Amino acid sequence: MVAPFESAVEIPAEAFPPEAAVHAVNPWVALAYLIAGICFILALRGLSSPATSRSGNRYGMAGMLIAVVTTLVTHEIASLPEILAAIAIGGAIGFVIARRIAMTAMPQLVAAFHSLVGLAAVLVAVAAFLNPDAFGILGADGNILTVSRVEMALGAAIGAITFSGSVIAFAKLNGNMSGSPILLPGRHLINLGTLAAILAMTAGFALSAHAGPGEHPIFWVLLAASFAIGFLLIIPIGGADMPVVVSMLNSYSGWAAAAMGFTLHNTAMIVTGALVGSSGAILSYIMCRAMNRSFLSVIAGGFGAQGGGGDAGEARTERPWKRGSAEDAAFLLKEAGQVIIIPGYGMAVAQAQHVLREMGDLLKEHGVTVKYAIHPVAGRMPGHMNVLLAEANVPYDEVFELEDINSEFAQTDVAFIIGANDVVNPAARNDRSSPIYGMPVFDVEKAKTIFFIKRSMGGVGYAGVDNDVFYMDQTMMLLGDAKKVVEEIVKAL
């Protein structure tokens, strides 16, 4: 082994276990991965603000290019034709799916892709368990190296949890399964017991004296328990908490990739996985704070969930409500001093963002102050509304977060709700039995006039609960597809 620098202290040869396989890393490869790692950090930095997100994306693409080319040049386990064939097959499937998928189905697509990362981590761990020699992790005593067993067990466990958790998240978001929490009796005990068993099995597997290739059956039991816990952790999570689940599974998929990096001795994968894992964890924490949920209770599997949510409930259409026309709306909007636009999932369904920006531009020409208010969980994925408004070239300085704009509704003439529902529902403030209770929402009822765009009075938001704002004195319902309604307002303006 070549010492990287001269040491004054002589290290005795016995310090290195004789069976330890040394994975010599080519310094050029290490340098390339280091540069890729720096690019990924700059990418995250850039993506933290809409104004710098383009450069963030460019850094991310450059880092990924460096990492992929370096890996291709230094491929070890598979041959180049095998790698290229796998890239061609995976790339073609990804290309077709990405082209076909509707923007509104993005969250379930993300969940499905997370499940593949989890499955990949499981398969890498299984391959290393069955054929450790190919991965250079077989000791001279015929056992898999202890440290590799720990990495393998963690990789398999995190990967399996990510896989089964993401499959359930996909089924809930895609409507194949009810969005309501499924609360098993004694679930916290079952979850804690299974987690403790996984940790005990990891220790047992790592410390076992007999751990040759494919030898230890405990590995398979650990894998099965991990698949089960992924399933158990996600089924009790109700509809309104799904955004946190999506970002949490994103974080898990990062840790699963980092674990794969250890097994494959790939520094770029360890760095990238750790970045995805930690940024996903921070995002989950931010989402929890936005929804006034405890982070620990959500990751512990719906702690405190009371049922409800998802598709439960129906709007109580028998209460009196007022219907407005596009002409009424155009007249009042033109006369307003300040208009706050609150976009939600329905804007994404209708793809109304472009015509909405046109409406905003026209109002500004009439001297109206126009602001856009984005709730952290509006839409169906983190940043959903920001992406759509940016796509429509809405200026960044007109877009405000919940805590920055909520105090302004009292001085606002018109709150213009377009395809949003749960994020403006006062039940989150007033009704303890509501599945969204505790989530901070926009104080739209403080505005002088409210325009509420949705397709029908029967439709409910994601959490499936009625909304008192529909029936308020100052509310005018503008029923119809969001894009069509705004087009009519633009015409009238």
- Contact positions vs ligand NAP (CB under 6 A): 107, 240, 242-243, 246, 344-346, 349-350, 377-382, 384, 419-423, 453-456, 459, 461-463, 481-482
Catalytic residue among 241, 422, 443, 466: 422
| Secondary structure element (H or E) that encloses residue 414, with its range | strand 414-418
Reply yes or no on whether 422 is catalytic: yes
- If the CB atoms of residues 194 and 351 are measured against ligand NAP, the closer one turns out to be 351
- Pair 180, 312: CB distance under 8 Å: yes
- Min dist CB 464 to ligand NAP, Å, is 9
Place of tokens 């396989």: 21
- If the CB atoms of residues 128 and 237 are measured against ligand NAP, the closer one turns out to be 237
- Min dist CB 280 to ligand NAP, Å, is 13
Length of the chain: 493
- CA–CA distances in Å: residue 66 to residues 29, 62, 71, 72, 260: 10, 6, 9, 10, 19
Q: CB-based burial of residue 3 (10 Å sphere; 0-12 exposed, 13-18 middle, 19+ buried)?
A: exposed
- Min dist CB 86 to ligand NAP, Å, is 31
- CA–CA distances in Å: residue 367 to residues 319, 337, 359, 363: 36, 8, 13, 7
- Pair 448, 422: CB distance under 8 Å: no
- If the CB atoms of residues 468 and 481 are measured against ligand NAP, the closer one turns out to be 481
- Min dist CB 450 to ligand NAP, Å, is 14
- If the CB atoms of residues 215 and 328 are measured against ligand NAP, the closer one turns out to be 328
- CA–CA distances in Å: residue 332 to residues 40, 450, 451: 48, 10, 10
Q: What are phi and psi of 335, to 5 degrees?
A: -85, -10
- If the CB atoms of residues 138 and 402 are measured against ligand NAP, the closer one turns out to be 402
- Min dist CB 9 to ligand NAP, Å, is 53
| Secondary structure element (H or E) that encloses residue 338, with its range | strand 338-343
Helices (H) and strands (E) in the chain, counts: 17, 6
- If the CB atoms of residues 156 and 378 are measured against ligand NAP, the closer one turns out to be 378
Distance between start and end Cα atoms, the chain? 77
- Min dist CB 241 to ligand NAP, Å, is 7
Write out the catalytic residue numbers. Answer: 422
